[in-house]
Amino acid sequence: MRAIVLVGGEGTRLRPLTYSVPKQMLPVVERPMLERTLEHLGAHGIDDAVLSLQYLPGAFQQAYPDGVAGGVGLTYVIEPTPLDTAGAIRYAAEQAGIDSTFVVVNGDVLTDLDLGALVEFHRSRRAEGTIRLYPVPDPSRFGVVTTDPDGRVRDFIEKPPADQAPTNLINAGTYVLEPAFLERVPAGRRVSVELETFPQMARDGTLFAMPEASYWLDAGTPEAFLRANFDLVDGSRGGVPYPGALLHDGVWRAGTARVQGEVIGPGFLGEGVSLEQGATARSSVLGSRTTLSAGSVVDSSVLLSGVTVGPGARVSGAIVGGGARIGEGCDVQAGSVIGFGVRLEPGRVVAGERVPE
C-alpha cells in the first residue's frame, strides 16, 4: 500500500528552528521526525511514501538522495504553489499515479496507531474515506468529529469553542482514502480537507471514523516538540529511543560521552557529549557533540547537536538549535527557542523568547 505524507507546511510555530530546516526534519532524540513517521508506516505495510513537498523541498531530497528513509521508498512531489491539505493530497496522488486505496498522514504527527486496524475498519465499512479519531482534554484547537454508532461521520466541526464542542474526539491526521476522494477536490486552487472536503463527504454519508487511543502527538509546537523528545526517554513510549542506545541509571547513551559532571535522568546523551566538572544535565536530551561547561545547568531542555553551554550558564525548559553557543552566565528560561548557530553574548537573559540566527 502507498501513503502520502504531508510535509509542505512552513512550521511557523517552531520558528526560528524552521527558518532553515523543515519541521519534519528536526531531530527527535537525534533522528528526524520524518524518519520516525516513515518507520511506523513501514511497520504497517507501507512500502512507498509520497512526500508532498512545498517548503524547503531540497532539504528532504538532499537528506535522502537514494529515495529511501525509515525503510520506506520515497517519491518526491513538489507543489507549484501552496494548495492546502486536500489540494496537496490530490496533486501528490495524481503526480505519483496513485489509483487504489491509500493512506494520508501529517508529517509532524507521531503515533503508535495500529494502522492495519484502521485500514480493516475502512474496508469493512466500504468507506470512501476513514479518519482516525483521538480523545483530547481540550478539543478547541482541532477538528472535532461526531459519528453514528457504526462510525459514520455526522459532523465535522473545525476548532469549536471549548464549551461548545459536542465531543472530545478529534481528527488525528491519519486517513485512509479511496481514489474517488480525489474527484471531489477541485484542481488548481487551495482546498482544505478539514473545512471543505470532509464536511462534504460527511453530508454524503461516505466518511467514517474510528476512535483509537494509542499514543498520538502533534509535535508542531515548542511544548509538544519537547514532549516528543521526553516521551521517548522517560518510558512514556516503549522501546529504545535511538538505535544502539543503552540505558544506565535512567539515562540513555548513544556512543561515548565524557561525563565529569552530573547527569540526572530521565535523559539522553548523544555521541561525543561532554559534561565538564560541576556541570549538570537534568531530565534533558543532549544531541551529539554538545558540551556543558563547568558550573552550567541544563534542565528539562532539548539541545540539538553541537551546542556549547558556557560556564555558569543555565538553560531550563528550552529548545536550543544545533551549533548554538550559550555564553557564560546566560539564563535561557522556559519557553525559549534558540535558532541554529545562534551566539548568545555572556550574561544574556532570554525569558521565553525566540532568538533567530
> DSSP letters along 168-186, please?
SEEEEEEEEE-THHHHTS-
Q: Which of 13, 31, 154, 159 is catalytic?
A: 159
Summarised one tens digit per residue, pLDDT across range 268-321 is 999 999 999 999 999 999 999 999 999 999 999 999 999 999 999 999 999 999
Break the chain down into helix, strand, coil percent, rounded to 5. 25, 30, 45
Measured torsion, CA atoms of residues 107, 112, 116, 119, in degrees rounded to the nearest 10: -50
What is the structure's pLDDT at 325? 98
pTM: 0.92
pLDDT digit string (tens) for 45-93?
999 999 999 899 899 999 999 999 988 999 999 999 999 999 999 999 9
Top-confidence residue, 56 or 346:
346
Burial track 241-269 (b if 16+ CB lie within 10 A, e otherwise): bbeebeeeeebbbbeebebebebebbbbb
CA 214 to chain CA centroid, Å, is 16
pLDDT digits (tens, 9 = 90+) for 183-206: 999 998 999 998 899 999 999 999
Query: Does the pLDDT of residue 114 top 90, yes or no?
Result: yes
Quote the CA–CA distance of 160 and 138 in Å, as a whole number: 10
The answer to whether 174 and 104 are in contact (CB under 8 A) is yes
Question: Is 23 assigned a catalytic role?
Answer: no
pLDDT at 156: 82
Q: How confident is the model at residue 19 (pLDDT cuts 50, 70, 90)?
A: very high
Asked if residue 300 lies in contact with residue 315, where contact means CB atoms within 8 angstroms, the answer is: no
Give Cα 187 to chain centroid, integer Å.
Answer: 28
pLDDT at residue 239, rounded to an integer: 87
Contacts of 100 (CB under 8 A, 6+ apart): 1, 2, 179
State the Cα–Cα distance between residues 80 and 97, nearest whole angstrom. 17
CA distances from 67 to 2, 47, 61, 89, 306 (A): 15, 12, 8, 20, 27
Residue 263: phi, psi to the nearest 5? -120, 125
Asked if pLDDT for residue 357 goes beyond 80, the answer is no
> For the chain, what is the mean pLDDT?
94
Identify the structural domains of the chain with CATH numbers, from first to last.
2-220 (3.90.550.10), 223-355 (2.160.10.10)
Q: What is the DSSP string of 265-302?
A: SSEEE-TT-EE-TT-EEES-EE-TT-EE-TT-EEES-E
What's the pLDDT score for residue 10?
Answer: 85
Whether the predicted pLDDT of 134 surpasses 80:
yes
Say which residue, 120 or 239, is predicted with more confidence.
Answer: 120
pLDDT of 14 reads 95
Question: What is the per-residue pLDDT for 282?
Answer: 98
